[in-house]
A and B are shown apart, each in its own frame.
Chain A
Amino acid sequence: MKIEDRLSLLNYKIDKSYAHITVKPDICETCPDHFCTFACPAKCYTLIDAKLNFKYEDCVECGTCVVACAHGSVSWTNSKGAHGVKYKYG
Chain B
Amino acid sequence: MTLELVVLIKVVPDGKEVFVDPVNFTLNRSMATNVLNPADENALEAALKIKDEHGARITVMTMAPPFAEPFLLECMSRGADQAVLISDRAVAGSDTYPTSLTVAAAIKHLGKVDIVFAGEKTSDSSTGHVGPGVAEFLEAELATYSRSCRYEDGFVIAERELEEGVEVVKIPTPAVVTVITDSNNPRRATLRKKLNAQKKGIIVWSLQDVGLPSDWVGLRSSPTVVKKMLPFPAIERKGKVIALDMIDDFVKELVDSGIIKRGGN
Note whether A and B contact each other (Cβ less than 8 A): yes
B119 to chain A, nearest CB (A): 16
Using CB atoms, name the residue of chain B closest to A80: B188
By a CB distance below 8 angstroms, the chain A residues around B240 are none
B17 with A88: CB separation less than 8 A: yes
Q: A30 at interface (Cβ–Cβ under 8 A)? A: no
B window 31-45: CB within 8 A of A: 31, 33
A17 with B17: CB separation less than 8 A: no
A82 to chain B, nearest CB (A): 9
Q: B189 at interface (Cβ–Cβ under 8 A)? A: yes
Using CB atoms, name the residue of chain A closest to B78: A81
A88 with B31: CB separation less than 8 A: yes
B16 with A11: CB separation less than 8 A: yes
Using CB atoms, name the residue of chain A closest to B14: A11
B189 to chain A, nearest CB (A): 7
B185 with A11: CB separation less than 8 A: no
By a CB distance below 8 angstroms, the chain B residues around A17 are 185
Across the A-B interface, give the 9 residue pairs with the lowest CB-CB distance, nearest first. A81-B188, A11-B16, A17-B185, A88-B31, A80-B188, A11-B17, A16-B185, A88-B17, A81-B189
Measured between alpha carbons, how far is A88 from B17 in the docked complex, in Å? 8
Can you report 13 A-B residue pairs in the complex whose CB atoms are below 8 A from each other? A11-B14, A11-B16, A11-B17, A16-B185, A17-B185, A80-B188, A81-B188, A81-B189, A86-B14, A86-B33, A88-B17, A88-B31, A88-B33
B11 to chain A, nearest CB (A): 15
Measured between alpha carbons, how far is A86 from B185 in the docked complex, in Å? 20
By a CB distance below 8 angstroms, the chain B residues around A88 are 17, 31, 33
Given A11-B17, A86-B33, A88-B31, 10 more A-B residue pairs with CB atoms under 8 Å apart are A11-B14, A11-B16, A16-B185, A17-B185, A80-B188, A81-B188, A81-B189, A86-B14, A88-B17, A88-B33
B192 to chain A, nearest CB (A): 14
Measured between alpha carbons, how far is A81 from B16 in the docked complex, in Å? 18
Using CB atoms, name the residue of chain B closest to A18: B188
B window 10-56: CB within 8 A of A: 14, 16-17, 31, 33
By a CB distance below 8 angstroms, the chain B residues around A86 are 14, 33
